[in-house]
Amino acid sequence: MATPGDYLDAADLKAVAAGGLIREDVLDTIFDNSDIPTVFLDMIGTDGMDNSYTEWTEDKLLDPFLGNKVISGSDTLTANNNASVANAKRVGNHGQISIKQVAVTDRTQNIAVIGRADEMGYQTARLLIELRRDVEAISLSGQASVQDNGDTIPGQSAGAAAWITTYKNTGAGGAVAGFQTGTKLVTAKVPGEGRGITWTMISDLITSVYKGGGDPSVLMSAPEVTKAIGRYLFTTPYAAQPTANVNGSGAAVNQTSQGYIDVFRTDFGTTMKIVPNRLQQTYADAAGGTVQTVADVFGLDARYWKLGLLYGWKVDPLGKDGLSFRKLLSVDWTLKCLLERANFLIADINPTVAMVA
How many helices and strands, by DSSP H and E, does the chain display? 7, 15
Cα–Cα distance for residue pair 93/95, rounded to 1 Å:
7
Q: Which amino acid is at 307?
A: L
List, for residues 174-187, the tens digit of each pLDDT value: 999 999 999 999 99
Q: Which amino acid is at 65?
A: F
Find the range with the poorest average confidence among 142-146, 247-251, 316-320.
247-251
What residue ranges do the domains of the chain occupy?
A: 39-58+89-196+281-349
List, for residues 326-337, the tens digit of each pLDDT value: 899 999 999 999
How many Cβ atoms sit within 10 Å of the Cβ of residue 9? 11
- The per-residue DSSP string of 121-157 comes to HHHHHHHHHHHHHHHHHHHTS-PPPB---SSS---BP
Helix (H, G, I), strand (E, B) or coil at 209: helix
Mean pLDDT, rounded, of the chain: 86
The pLDDT, as a whole number, for residue 139 is 98
Picking from 93, 92, 96, 91, the residue whose alpha carbon sits closest to that of residue 155 is: 96
Just give the CATH number of 39-58+89-196+281-349: 3.30.2400.10
The pLDDT, as a whole number, for residue 238 is 61
Cα–Cα distance for residue pair 245/119, rounded to 1 Å:
52
Percentage of the chain lying above the pLDDT 90 cut? 57
List, for residues 296-350, the tens digit of each pLDDT value: 999 999 999 999 999 989 999 988 878 888 899 999 999 999 999 999 999 999 9
Beta bridge partners of 98: 331
Picking from 122, 199, 186, the residue whose alpha carbon sits closest to that of residue 159 is: 186
DSSP letter (8 states) at residue 240 = P
Cα–Cα distance for residue pair 323/326, rounded to 1 Å:
10
> Against a cut of 0.75, is the pTM above it?
yes
The pLDDT, as a whole number, for residue 97 is 97
The pLDDT, as a whole number, for residue 67 is 83
